[in-house]
Chains A and B, each alone.
Chain A
Amino acid sequence: MARVADERQSLFSFFKDQLRPRGKLITPFNVISIPVIIAGVIILFFRFTQGLGATTNLSQQNPWGIWIGFDVVTGVAFAGGAYVLTFAVYVMRMDKFHPIIRATVLNGFLAYVFYAGALVFDLGRPWHVINPVIGNAFGYNSVLFLVAWHFMLYMTAEFVEFSPVITEWLGLKKARRVANSLTLAAVILGISLSTLHQSGLGALFLMAKPKIHPLWYSEFIPIFFFVSSIFAGISMVIFESTISHRVFKMQMGPGSHERLNEIIIGLARGATIAMFVYYFFKALIFIHDDQWALIKGFWGAWYLTEVLGFVLVPMVLFAYGSRHKAVGIIKIAAVLTLIGVLLNRLNISVIAFNWNVADKYIPHWMEIVVTLTVVFSEIWIFRWIVNRMPVMREPGALGSPNRKRELQSLN
């Protein structure tokens, strides 16, 4: 009885200790992000009490804005690195990518929680978000029904993939064994779900054929979304691991810099092949649909900027960088690719959407603040977890230092 009380007390003091802020409070990131998050929370209060009209420029003509175009459609593509990397590590047994797998899965999980969660902001009647779960007008003919279920199941799968880290943090040996044994099943389920919902997001736009500029519309949008999520995810992993490596340098062991460079070169090879396949599809659709006449004018130039400047150029840079082990060039290619995917998703969902109407949608400043709030909040949570759980540290050591000391004092 006394032991249970001691254990409870130890757990309480452990969590109290973990909640204490770590590191400096005044940093450039904190100075920028804290006011934005506060403003975003206030705007969201008005959005949920006054409705969409009070805080957005959305209308019946333009029902989807940047909350869908950036947060959901682009954010989910950027989170694609988790399924690509878990496939490479757990299915293809490419162990060299293992050191970054935990950070990638965490990033993917948080991206889904925050970006897919942002769907709620955009629903006119947000309480209906529960409908696909409780069976109140299932709407199983809708692509959104598939996307909703896939998001929920994928978030669960990613949580299971990440759960060994949580058990290590808490020092729970038996639970860790169980969590480890579930990982492979969760990975396989996660990959299957990803292939379908990444393309499912593209399928949402199939019904908007008259609204999307013909250079961006195709019956193959779902395939484009899926293939582009592969290199978008890989580029995000390169970008995120480069920044994490600097910010959390203290947590990494010796030789981590060389290991990261090798990983980045390997990722660049994968991105090159995925981009090459994407480029082929793009060219094939262009020729098949006989779109030569559309290339003239502003929209043609805008399309070529996206396809040549942000797909072909980074693809060549990735190939060159991986061939000559030029990590700096690969990082530039990753940033260009991220911009390219962002452009492509925004073109389909916002910029080239309703391209021929007079009442063109321009995001309200409050929509932009809320979008930044979502991004900054995700980074805050990511940082909080990485500073406490064994995400960047060498895997295997059970328990955080404090938790270990407490458990030892009980034994």
Chain B
Amino acid sequence: METYSYVNIFETKGLEYILLICFMVMMVLLFRYMRAGMRDKS
């Protein structure tokens, strides 16, 4: 019988949530990186 595993990262879409969290963290880092360039200018 096929069973549903709650620890399988693919079946629970866990990978997509991890990607989303990584995206949000990296977005903040990207903004900080580019803002540093703008601060240097002023």
Residue A283, interface by CB 8 Å: yes
A276 near B19: Cβ-Cβ < 8 Å: no
Interface of A, secondary structure class, is: helix
Q: How far is the CA of A268 from the CA of B26 in the complex (A)?
A: 18
Q: Which residue in B13, B19, B33, B41 is a CB contact (below 8 Å) of A319?
A: B33
B10 contacts across to A, CB distance below 8 A: 290
Closest to A281 in B: B23
CB distance from B28 to the nearest CB of A (A): 11
CB distance from A230 to the nearest CB of B (A): 16
B37 contacts across to A, CB distance below 8 A: 322-325
A273 contacts across to B, CB distance below 8 A: 30
B34 near A269: Cβ-Cβ < 8 Å: yes
Residue A284, interface by CB 8 Å: yes
B16 near A323: Cβ-Cβ < 8 Å: no
B residues sitting closer than 8 Å to A (CB atoms) are 10, 13, 15-16, 19-20, 23, 26-27, 30, 33-34, 36-37, 41
Q: How far is the CA of A283 from the CA of B15 in the complex (A)?
A: 11
Interface size on A, residues (CB 8 A): 15
B16 near A288: Cβ-Cβ < 8 Å: yes
Known: A284-B19, A287-B15, A287-B19. A323 touches B27 (CB 8 A): no
B34 near A323: Cβ-Cβ < 8 Å: yes
Residue A104, interface by CB 8 Å: no
A residues sitting closer than 8 Å to B (CB atoms) are 269, 272-273, 276, 280, 283-284, 287-288, 290, 319, 322-325
B23 contacts across to A, CB distance below 8 A: 280, 283
- Could you list 6 A-B pairs, sorted by A, with CB under 8 Å? A280-B19, A280-B23, A323-B33, A323-B34, A323-B37, A325-B41
B16 near A319: Cβ-Cβ < 8 Å: no
Q: How far is the CA of A287 from the CA of B14 in the complex (A)?
A: 10
Interface of B, secondary structure class, is: helix
B19 near A283: Cβ-Cβ < 8 Å: yes
B15 contacts across to A, CB distance below 8 A: 287
Q: How far is the CA of A319 from the CA of B30 in the complex (A)?
A: 8
Q: How far is the CA of A276 from the CA of B36 in the complex (A)?
A: 18
CB distance from B1 to the nearest CB of A (A): 22
A287 contacts across to B, CB distance below 8 A: 15-16, 19
B16 contacts across to A, CB distance below 8 A: 284, 287-288
Q: How far is the CA of A280 from the CA of B27 in the complex (A)?
A: 10
CB distance from B5 to the nearest CB of A (A): 16
Closest to A318 in B: B34
CB distance from A314 to the nearest CB of B (A): 14
B19 contacts across to A, CB distance below 8 A: 280, 283-284, 287
B36 contacts across to A, CB distance below 8 A: 323
A323 contacts across to B, CB distance below 8 A: 33-34, 36-37
Q: Which residue in A272, A324, A325 is a CB contact (below 8 Å) of B30?
A: A272
A322 contacts across to B, CB distance below 8 A: 34, 37
A276 near B27: Cβ-Cβ < 8 Å: yes
A290 contacts across to B, CB distance below 8 A: 10
Q: How far is the CA of A288 from the CA of B20 in the complex (A)?
A: 12
CB distance from B41 to the nearest CB of A (A): 7
A325 contacts across to B, CB distance below 8 A: 37, 41
CB distance from B32 to the nearest CB of A (A): 10
Q: How far is the CA of A283 from the CA of B13 in the complex (A)?
A: 13
Q: How far is the CA of A138 from the CA of B30 in the complex (A)?
A: 47
CB distance from B36 to the nearest CB of A (A): 7
Q: How far is the CA of A269 from the CA of B15 in the complex (A)?
A: 29
A283 contacts across to B, CB distance below 8 A: 19, 23
Q: How far is the CA of A290 from the CA of B16 in the complex (A)?
A: 11
B13 contacts across to A, CB distance below 8 A: 288
CB distance from A296 to the nearest CB of B (A): 18
A288 contacts across to B, CB distance below 8 A: 13, 16
Known: A287-B19, A290-B10. A272 touches B41 (CB 8 A): no
